[in-house]
Amino acid sequence: MKYTPKLPDDSVNNPKENLFVTALKLMASLAVVVTVVYVSMLFAVDYTVEHLSPENEKKLMAYARVDFDMNSTVHSPYLQKVTDKLARCARLPYSVKTYILEEDGINAFALPGGKIMVTQGMLRRIRNENELASVIGHELGHFKHRDHLKGLGKSLVLGVLSMLVADNYGSAFTTTLRVTDAKYSQSQELAADLFGIDMMACAYGNVKDAETLFARMDKGESWKYFLASHPGFHERVEKMRRYIEKKGYSREGEVIPLNKELTHR
């Protein structure tokens, strides 16, 4: 059989689809792949951490250290008393110490090694021990869910993927990782909120004013939290209220005033 060559189609050098559209499709596909890989690796990290024995967790937490200036903190016996009351319900394999951080910013956070920091700015916003218990219970939730160990694994995964992706494909994919990471962190924050409610119900027998602090801080600007590690206050308040209703927790309880140790600082 004689082979008869054919000339290429006229569209070879003139593709029917716009090159820009083709590039966008390729970029979108790669972004999906990167996200799936990242989420899969996070799942693997979470699975590994969640299956650690309490003994191994305690050992890892003993080695966990952060570069934090403790000279700007004050250990509060009152805060510690509230923490201990809630921590008995949390049943952590290690003790937790709570400190006042002498800063005006409104914040509270848990540090690896079993330390909780509550800023003076936050304490000025808190009106009673009920709200304080909700905040501390939230931070205990991070310890209970082993978020610090998960955070360490997440940082390693994010660092590796950021280097690989950013070096080859630019900042667009770094942004994709940041969005995925923000959503992952927000889910941890919401879980800690609900754990705090459980701890209040266990330690105090009710959840009086569990969400009122966040309700006051709600500015109706949830869109600002799209790339934030924390969800918007409105979303947090609504989830907390639905959870309280679902669990049937009592809202009837004593409004416990803050100890003078805090109110006179």
Q: Which amino acid is at 26?
A: L
CA 256 – CA 253 distance, rounded (Å): 9
- Taking only the tens place, the pLDDT of each residue in 125-169 is 999 999 999 999 999 999 998 887 777 766 666 666 666 665 555
Tokens of 131: 């709200």
Q: Mean pLDDT in runs of 10 for the chain (265 residues)?
A: 62 61 70 72 72 73 67 92 97 92 89 88 94 96 85 68 59 53 74 96 97 83 53 88 97 92 68
pLDDT of residue 208: 96
pLDDT of residue 226: 46
Of 104, 138, 118, 112, which Cα lies nearest the Cα of 75? 118
pTM score, two decimals?
0.72
CB-based contacts of 58: which residues, under 8 Å, 6+ apart? 93, 94
- The answer to whether 38 touches 157, Cβ cutoff 8 Å, is yes
Q: Which amino acid is at 100?
A: I
Q: Is 117 helix (H, G, I), strand (E, B) or coil?
A: strand
pLDDT of residue 264: 61
Task: Give the residue carrying structure tokens 């927790």.
Answer: 249
pLDDT of residue 176: 52
- The answer to whether 123 touches 265, Cβ cutoff 8 Å, is yes
Sheet holding 97-101, edge to edge: 73-75, 97-101, 115-119, 108-111
